[in-house]
């Protein structure tokens, strides 16, 4: 693919920027200890027993998980495992959860989660589900916000690095995925890397969401030029039918991108009319191609995850679907593209740019209607920059990245290299306030700040390095977050706290959208797990050849059964554990000596299975890992393992029972 | 927009009290015990001393034995209670036989529906906690279901 944009010599400019980056990120300023007002503690104080105003959901970055926090206190409530095994809860280790981490590359115990996004109704977060992307082996997960558990993971084929994801349209019709690292589409295609422009392609993935169940299905993909697609945002209001993507590496470099993908003055914001694209697909203009990918979902009734393997995907070529896709030239390797609450302004953060360019949606539509095209790439018209741009915010600092909105006419842009947040007016496009970030800010987040109805009270800055902010904890420290009060004319720093993993992006929502729906137990009467026992009378051990199944009940504070004999070396033992408690937050755990796996935690009413393959004879103690009552220390048992050829009879008991 | 905030705060405080009772999932049971919570601080009424603290605050009419109700009670008992209670012998908790002779039906209902308060605030509940070293869990049964369990206990004691 060719690109006719002029190549300019900007290497010197990059060197200056990189030099500034080193200076600015390398030197903690020591400022920010001095709060300009003395009421910060009061504003963030949530008294014992009282509740935070907001739930916040932080991505775990390279932990692969998602954590749940309270705002304004900055207290962490929970870390929810999503894409990575979690020995704490047993997620990814117990049998029912293993299918969740299956992919076309086999079982994958880890990923890199980036951008959580709450489901929306009429452009406002509704608190039903939250989605998050896996960047490495491209997937999207859905978490249920009644259970606070991962309930679905969908793999995306034809995609390398699903970074521009997961973002939902205003009524959660679709969620989007895209290629950061373009790759050849055909599975296992073995081609020279320097045939990049010829053989590699990008892909946009349009994932349909069932409005009642939230279930995801890959509706179709769109083949796009082999650029790097970095971030995305669906439009809202007048632009609700569109999704905007940033691109970089329109140079189509495949090596030393640091230099080679920074050559052009401008890359693109891609504007996709998803509604029109879906209509073309419905008309049959897409081609069904081979593509292997996994769809894993949690069957609530059975209490276990199930994997489906898909082998085809519908692929739409923009050449066959005129009017669905346009490129808007945008300086320079833009990172974020964010849409203001009215749906009119598209703010791109050019991480190597010296201004924040703002496109106008209505001007974009005019430019399309008047065919103000300057170029065409693979059938995709390139619009005239002057026709779509409505403003350039001057003096935004070095390295503007992401923008959110307060609903009061102001935008807030994170600026990485100069490590600050700038507040600017959507009317004048002028900077009105700026405040330091500690240090090197990536995303920022205002509760509702990406929706049609922002809650303009707090802002969270998600920064990349802690350096001297906290008591030092060695050469590698956790990433910080800062909470700001944005209710006044000036931004005010309230709180600075460490986080888990690397929270690239976060979402927040008023507690009243979530709190009333949060489940307290799993109802035993709704537990249809095939190996559940709902009566202690059903506790038992069964042998089927070399497979031993232990149907075990857990209740304060004993296991039923707790003495098991007759297991042999070479057996595969399944502990099917059911927590018979029906009281909120009374959790039991299970661990057995020598287990080459993990413990497992059981919420009230849940059934989970641990697989154990004893390799030695002997007596193996097992115990409850969760402190469950005053007699928790008594909640233990023994399994006797005998030689493979022994004739010890299979028996089990609890006390005299 | 002030009113919804107030309503919500009230809802939260109700939740807090319910959580304090430890059986926040009890629906009607927890909200009713919450409303009588203040009175408990000062001491127990004669009714409460005899019949326990919880949603049952006045004498119940038991009526004739109902075998279908007892069968439903047995079903719930075997799923939610039998891990800790046997008929004749002490296990984790006390044996079931003879319960309806030792305790009033109102007491049994309150014990099933409000075990955490019973263990903390009622002299009989406190005695049992010391004897068994365990607070009986609330097992998410409704008032109706607790009544069915009591009917099952009646069946056991009547030898029907």
pLDDT (tens digit per residue) in A136-169? 999 999 999 999 999 999 999 999 999 999 999 9
Residue A6 DSSP symbol: P
pLDDT number for residue B17:
37
**pLDDT classification of A37: cutoffs 50, 70, 90:** low
Q: Does A631 touch chain B (CB under 8 A)?
A: yes
Residues of B in contact with A586 (CB under 8 A): 137
Q: How far apart are CA A348 and CA A390, in angstroms?
A: 12
* Class of the CATH-defined domain A11-517: mainly beta
Residues of A in contact with B23 (CB under 8 A): 583
Helix (H, G, I), strand (E, B), or coil: what is residue A430?
coil
Q: Quick check: B26 pLDDT over 70? A: no
Contact B92/A556, CB-based, under 8 Å?
A: yes
**pLDDT classification of A187: cutoffs 50, 70, 90:** confident
The residue of chain A with its CA nearest to that of B92 is A557
Report which of A601, A584, A566, A312 is spatially closest to residue B24, judged by C-alpha positions: A584
> DSSP characters for A369-426?
HTT-EEEEETTEEEEPHHHHEEEEE----S-EEEEEE-SSSEEEEEETTTTEEEEEET
pLDDT number for residue B74:
97
Residues of B in contact with A51 (CB under 8 A): 12
**How is chain B split into domains, by residue range?**
2-158
Contact A520/B79, CB-based, under 8 Å?
A: no
pLDDT, chain B, mean: 80
The token pair that represents A543 in the structure block: 């042998």
pLDDT number for residue A12:
38
Contact B137/A556, CB-based, under 8 Å?
A: yes
pLDDT number for residue A425:
98
If you average pLDDT over residues A648-657, what whole number do you get?
A: 91
Report which of A280, A173, A302 is spatially closest to residue A222, judged by C-alpha positions: A280
**pLDDT classification of A197: cutoffs 50, 70, 90:** very high
Residue that is written with structure tokens 């609903």 in the block? A407
In CATH terms, the fold of domain A533-653 is: Immunoglobulin-like (2.60.40)
The residue of chain B with its CA nearest to that of A629 is B134
pLDDT (tens digit per residue) in A215-269? 999 999 999 999 999 999 999 999 999 999 999 999 999 999 988 998 999 999 9
The token pair that represents A66 in the structure block: 């998602």
Residues of B in contact with A512 (CB under 8 A): 8
Distance from CA of A610 to the nearest CA of B (A): 22
Residues of A in contact with B27 (CB under 8 A): none
Report which of A427, A428, A463, A465 is spatially closest to residue A444, judged by C-alpha positions: A463
Contact A277, A322 (CB under 8 A): no
Q: What percent of chain A clears pLDDT 90, i.e. is strictly above it?
A: 89
> DSSP characters for chain B?
-HHHHHHHHHHHHHHHHHHHHT-TT-THHHHHHHHTHHHHHH---HHHHHH-SSS--SPPP--S--HHHHHHHHHHHHHHTTTT--SSS-SSS--STTHHHHS-HHHHHHHHH-HHHHHHH-HHHHHHHHHHSSPPPP----HHHHHHHHHHHHHHHHT-
pLDDT number for residue A561:
97
The residue of chain B with its CA nearest to that of A580 is B80
pLDDT (tens digit per residue) in A562-608? 999 999 999 999 999 999 999 999 999 999 999 999 999 999 999 99
Q: How far apart are CA A395 and CA A411, in angstroms?
A: 14
Top residue of B9, B20, B79 to mutate, by most chain A CBs within 10 Å, is: B79
End-to-end CA distance of chain B: 60
Task: Let me know if A640 is exposed, middle or buried by CB neighbors in 10 A (0-12, 13-18, 19+).
Answer: middle
Contact B22/A583, CB-based, under 8 Å?
A: yes
Contact B133/A586, CB-based, under 8 Å?
A: no
Among the partner-chain residues B23, B80, B91, the one whose CB lies closest to the CB of A580 is B80
**How is chain A split into domains, by residue range?**
11-517, 533-653
Q: How far apart are CA B134 and CA A586, in angstroms?
A: 14
The residue of chain B with its CA nearest to that of A49 is B16
Beta bridge partners of A288: A314
pTM of the entire predicted model? 0.89
State the CB neighbour count (10 A cutoff) for residue A178. Answer: 33
Query: CATH classification of B2-158, choosing from 1.10.760.10, 2.30.110.10, 3.20.20.140, 3.30.70.20?
Result: 1.10.760.10
Q: How far apart are CA B54 and CA B116, in angstroms?
A: 10
ipTM of the complex: 0.74
pLDDT number for residue A255:
95
pLDDT (tens digit per residue) in B143-154? 999 999 999 999
What b-and-e string marks burial along B10-34, b requiring 16 or more CB atoms within 10 Å of the CB? eeeeebebbebbbbbbbeebbbbbb
Q: Quick check: B34 pLDDT over 70? A: no
Among the partner-chain residues B24, B78, B134, the one whose CB lies closest to the CB of A584 is B24
φ, ψ at A399 (rounded to 5°): 85, 55
Q: Does A328 touch chain B (CB under 8 A)?
A: no
Dihedral sign, Cα of residue B148, residue B153, residue B154, residue B160:
positive
Contact A380, A225 (CB under 8 A): yes
pLDDT (tens digit per residue) in A407-431? 999 999 999 999 999 999 999 999 9
How many beta-carbon pairs under 8 angstroms link A with B? Answer: 62
Q: How far apart are CA A309 and CA A295, in angstroms?
A: 6
pLDDT number for residue A23:
41
Q: How far apart are CA A227 and CA A246, in angstroms?
A: 10
């Amino acid at each position: 693919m060719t690109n006719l944009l002029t190549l300019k010599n900007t290497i010197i400019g990059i060197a200056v920027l990189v030099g500034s980056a080193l200076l600015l990120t390398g030197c903690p300023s020591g400022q920010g200890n001095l709060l300009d007002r003395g009421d910060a503690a009061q504003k963030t104080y949530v008294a014992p027993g009282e509740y935070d105003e907001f739930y916040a959901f932080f991505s775990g970055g390279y932990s692969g998980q998602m954590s749940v926090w309270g705002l304004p206190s900055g207290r962490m409530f929970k870390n929810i495992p999503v894409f990575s095994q979690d020995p704490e809860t047993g997620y990814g280790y117990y049998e029912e959860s293993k299918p969740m981490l299956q992919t076309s590359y086999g079982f994958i115990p880890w990923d890199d989660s980036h951008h959580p996004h709450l489901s929306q109704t009429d452009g406002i977060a509704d608190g039903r589900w939250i989605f998050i992307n896996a960047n490495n082996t491209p997937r999207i997960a859905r978490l249920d916000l009644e259970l606070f558990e991962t309930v679905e993971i969908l793999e995306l084929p034809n995609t390398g690095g699903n970074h521009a994801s997961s973002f939902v349209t205003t009524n959660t019709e679709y969620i989007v995925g895209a290629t950061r690292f373009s790759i050849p589409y055909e599975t296992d295609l073995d081609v020279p890397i320097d045939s990049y422009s010829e053989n590699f392609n990008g892909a946009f993935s349009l994932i349909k969401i069932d409005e009642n169940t939230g279930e995801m299905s890959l509706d179709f993909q769109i083949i796009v030029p082999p650029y790097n697609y970095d971030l995305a945002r669906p439009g809202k209001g007048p632009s609700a039918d569109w999704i905007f993507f940033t691109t970089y590496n329109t140079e189509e470099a495949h090596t030393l991108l640091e230099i080679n993908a920074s050559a052009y003055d401008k890359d693109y914001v891609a504007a996709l009319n998803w509604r029109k694209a879906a209509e073309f697909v419905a008309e049959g203009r897409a081609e069904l191609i081979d593509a292997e990918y996994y769809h894993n979902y949690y069957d609530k009734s059975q209490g276990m995850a199930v994997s489906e393997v898909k082998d085809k995907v519908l692929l739409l070529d923009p050449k066959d679907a005129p009017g669905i896709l346009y490129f808007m030239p945008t300086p320079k390797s833009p990172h974020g593209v964010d849409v203001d609450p009215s749906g009119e302004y598209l703010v791109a953060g050019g991480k190597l740019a010296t201004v924040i360019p703002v496109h106008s949606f209505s001007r974009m539509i005019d430019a399309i209607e008047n065919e103000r095209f300057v170029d065409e790439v693979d059938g995709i018209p390139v619009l005239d920059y002057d026709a779509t741009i409505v403003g350039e915010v001057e003096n935004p600092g070095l390295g503007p990245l992401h923008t959110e909105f307060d609903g009061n006419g102001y935008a807030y842009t994170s600026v990485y290299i100069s490590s600050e947040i700038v507040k600017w007016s959507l009317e004048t496009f002028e900077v009105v306030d700026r405040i330091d970030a500690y240090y090197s800010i990536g995303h920022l987040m205002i509760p509702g700040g990406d929706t049609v109805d922002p809650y303009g009270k707090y802002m969270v800055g998600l920064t990349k390095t802690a350096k001297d902010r906290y008591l030092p904890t060695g050469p590698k420290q956790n990433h910080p977050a800062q909470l700001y009060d944005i209710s006044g004319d000036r931004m005010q720093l309230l709180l600075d706290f460490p986080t888990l993993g690397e929270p690239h992006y976060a979402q927040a929502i008023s507690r009243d959208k979530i709190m009333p729906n949060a489940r307290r137990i799993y109802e035993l009467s709704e537990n249809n797990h095939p190996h559940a026992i709902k009566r202690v009378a059903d506790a038992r051990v069964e042998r089927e050849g070399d497979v031993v199944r232990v149907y075990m009940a857990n209740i304060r504070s004993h296991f039923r059964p707790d003495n098991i004999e007759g297991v042999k070396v070479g057996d595969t033992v399944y502990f099917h554990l059911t927590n018979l408690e029906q009281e909120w937050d009374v959790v039991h755990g299970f661990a057995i000596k020598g287990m080459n796996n993990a413990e497992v935690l059981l919420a009230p009413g849940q059934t989970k299975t641990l697989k154990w393959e004893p390799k030695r004879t002997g007596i193996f103690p097992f115990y409850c890992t969760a402190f469950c009552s005053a007699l928790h220390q008594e909640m233990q048992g023994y399994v006797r393992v005998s030689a493979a050829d022994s004739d010890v009879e299979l028996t089990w008991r609890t006390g005299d029972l | 927009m002030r009113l919804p905030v107030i309503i919500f705060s009230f809802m939260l405080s109700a939740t807090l009290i319910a959580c304090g009772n430890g059986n926040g999932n009890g629906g009607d049971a927890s909200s009713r015990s919450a409303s009588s919570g203040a009175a408990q601080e000062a001491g127990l009424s004669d009714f409460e001393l005899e019949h326990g603290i919880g949603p049952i605050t006045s004498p119940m009419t038991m009526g004739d034995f109902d075998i279908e109700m007892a069968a439903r009670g047995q079903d719930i008992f075997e799923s939610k209670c039998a891990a800790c209670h046997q008929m004749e012998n002490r296990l984790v908790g006390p044996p079931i036989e003879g319960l309806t002779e030792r305790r009033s039906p109102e007491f049994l209902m309150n014990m099933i529906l409000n075990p955490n308060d019973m263990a903390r605030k009622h002299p009989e509940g406190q005695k049992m906690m010391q004897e068994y070293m365990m607070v009986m869990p609330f097992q998410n049964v409704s008032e109706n279901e607790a009544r069915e369990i009591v009917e099952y206990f009646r069946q056991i004691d009547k030898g029907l």
